[in-house]
Amino acid sequence: MKEWRSNDGRLLSYLDAGSGPPLVLLHGWAMSSAVFAEAVAELSDEYRVLAPDLPGHGRSTPGVDYSLDTLAGNLLRWMESLDLSDIRLLGWSLGGQIALRLATLTGARLSRLLLVATTPRFVAEGEWIHGLPDGQVRIMARGLKRRFANTLDDFFAQQFGADELSEDRRRNIWQQFAPTVMPPQQEAALAALETLRGSDLRQSLQNLSLPTLVMHGTEDAIIPHAAGRYLAEHLPRGRFETMAGLGHAPFLSRPQESFLLWREFCRI
């Protein structure tokens, strides 16, 4: 792991492997860069793969503000400090929302955008039916306060269907990637969940002209498949890839298939 310090002294920890065009991977809520360990090992033969820990996640210092603007702005300063350009930027779930916001701040530095299990609006409201009920998210927040580790494990379990993984693969994933292996700070998890609950990126999609791959499992129980389709249809250069029979983390369920798709899109 490498470290970068912001002007206020906060630490951002990140994986950095390989050489070539930069490929930046942003993890999801309550996770860390560790979830991309297999992707880093697979793709670092062709790309310089960088995977930061979001504030309060992994080994990074907690933040004071978990809004998308602040999270994206901090990552932009980190990328500028490394003088990264021609970046392939991939975001998973919350990381996808941050990637969308980051793309509006620094489109000139990016050449490709990849969004995995991402939605412009996490919570259902009004005509937007492709999200979780607000009450369910509130219950989850209460669970984080009362049964933190159990709530994280429950959330991780929802990312995979009953028959999606072999028993060996399921055991391996839990041992390596479950959020309780390297849990986030409780305050960071709560604040980031509130960011998911309140953010709405629908109005900004039409302004993003980057070639964008939207990848979504048909059995995603966290973010409905229809939310990913909406995202791809409303991005000017969006391309939708359905992962049949998979849930919220297709790159863990079918890593080789996912990495091949990412590699091919990044070469276009």
**Is 168 annotated as catalytic?**
no
Query: CA torsion 211→68→22→57, rounded to 10°?
Result: -140
**Is 93 annotated as catalytic?**
yes
DSSP 107: G
Pick the catalytic residue from 13, 53, 220, 225.
220
Pick the catalytic residue from 33, 93, 199, 258.
93
**Is 85 annotated as catalytic?**
no
Distance from chain centroid for Cα 192 = 12
Secondary structure E strands in the chain: 2-5, 11-17, 22-26, 48-52, 87-92, 110-116, 212-217, 238-243
- C-alpha to C-alpha distances, 237 to 43, 108, 116, nearest whole angstrom: 24, 16, 16
Among residues 232, 254, 227, 230, the alpha carbon closest in space to that of 243 is found at 254
Instruction: Report the 3 state secondary structure along 157-214.
Output: HCCCCCCCCCHHHHHHHHHHHCCCCCCCCHHHHHHHHHHHHHCECHHHHHHCCCCEEE
In contact, 264 and 157? CB cutoff 8 Å = no
Give the span between the Cα atoms of 158 and 138, in whole angstroms. 17
Pick the catalytic residue from 44, 248, 253, 258.
248
Q: Which residues are catalytic?
A: 93, 220, 248
